Amino acid sequence: MMLFSPLKGRWSNASFWSKILLLIALIVLSTIVFMGLWVLLYGGDSSSVSSLKLMQALQTLGTFCVPCLCLAWLTSEHACDYLRLSSTADWKQYLLIVVFMIVSLPGINLLSWLNQQMSLPAFLSGLEEVMRDYELRAEALIERFMDVSSIGGMLINVLVIALLPALSEELLFRGTLQQLFYEKMNKHAAIWVSAIIFSAIHFQFYGFIPRMLMGVFFGYLLLWSGTLWLPITAHFINNVSVVLLYYIFKQHAWDTEVLDHFGSGSTLWMGIVSLLLIGVGVYLCRRSLTMSNASSRMS
């Protein structure tokens, strides 16, 4: 580290666009390095589930996590402060976020179902066909990942599908991009733009709206609380809920399609109730976090 210490904080006074270009360069370089590591370890084998899971983990770290840590180190003397990782929240607020995310699951499913009813204009039918095919292949890959029968396999899924994406994606979209956008636009616009990019980067049109709205909520959690750990927690609970529910359903040989439609169809009423509770939950989160953040600043 002594070799690179002169670079620490060197770009702290760089312009917005210089930081954006530096971030893009770091993402490209880091992704190449981490994907190269996967090729060295597995020879680029895309038929083995274990190989694909390692690729997923390395890609998550290389594309989202490491570039943000490097950018924070290069543009700030205090990287953890820059990424809003130094501060935390009260345990009651973490509990509130956990309950909120669990209660919101049927509502998220209902929004996903409504999103799936959307279709592009006729002249974009070819693009729509490509997007549907991409999402079907993505769903098939997730099904392969989820098809585990042991506690160990489930814990690996928790790491690869839930924990690493929650930590790494929040570092990029809320900890880095959202705060960079603060330099060019007001905070509300920065939250929405970051959320749109967050949803778009997943290349899943038929889940775009609920993912974007989740990104908006994660962004406001950071704004209200001043700590990135709350968005990371919320993101993790959303991801891990799916992993655990799929594992439980697989263990009991239950139809996992029920999970995808929970909150729509015959359980539509639960989706509607969930959406109403989401509205109440957002109000409670905002009230609790802004009051706590204000009092901590005064003390």
**Mean pLDDT, all residues of the chain:** 90
Taking 60 as the threshold, does the pLDDT of residue 289 lie above it? yes
pLDDT tens for 45-84 read: 778 899 999 999 999 999 999 999 999 999 998 899 999 9
pLDDT tens for 228-281 read: 999 999 999 999 999 999 999 989 888 888 888 899 988 999 999 999 999 999
Predicted local confidence at residue 114, as pLDDT = 92
Residue from 207, 213, 167 nearest 64 by CA = 167
Predicted local confidence at residue 2, as pLDDT = 45
* Among the ranges given (13-22, 160-169, 267-276, 290-299), the one the predictor scored with the smallest mean pLDDT: 290-299
pLDDT tens for 93-150 read: 999 999 999 999 999 999 999 998 887 777 767 777 877 787 778 888 888 899 898 9
Separation of alpha carbons 137 and 133, rounded Å: 6
Taking 60 as the threshold, does the pLDDT of residue 299 lie above it? no
Taking 50 as the threshold, does the pLDDT of residue 3 lie above it? no
Residue from 261, 88, 81, 64 nearest 164 by CA = 64
pLDDT tens for 191-234 read: 999 999 999 998 788 889 999 999 999 999 999 999 999 999 99
Tokens of 219: 């962004």
HEC per residue, the chain: CCCCHHHCCCCCCCCHHHHHHHHHHHHHHHHHHHHHHHHHHHCCCCCCHHHHHHHHHHHHHHHHHHHHHHHHHHHCCCHHHHCCCCCCCCHHHHHHHHHHHHHCHHHHHHHHHHHHCCCCCHHHHHHHHHHHHHHHHHHHHHHHHHCCCCHHHHHHHHHHHHHHHHHHHHHHHHHHHHHHHCCCCCHHHHHHHHHHHHHHCCCCHHHHHHHHHHHHHHHHHHHHHCCCHHHHHHHHHHHHHHHHHHHHHHHCCCCCHHHHHECEHHHHHHHHHHHHHHHHHHHHHHHHHHHHHHHHHHC
Domain edges within the chain: 16-82, 87-293
Determine the distance from the C-alpha atom of residue 255 to the mean position of all C-alpha atoms in its chain, rounded to a whole number. Answer: 26
The pTM is what? 0.93
* Backbone φ, ψ for residue 124 (5° rounding): -110, 20
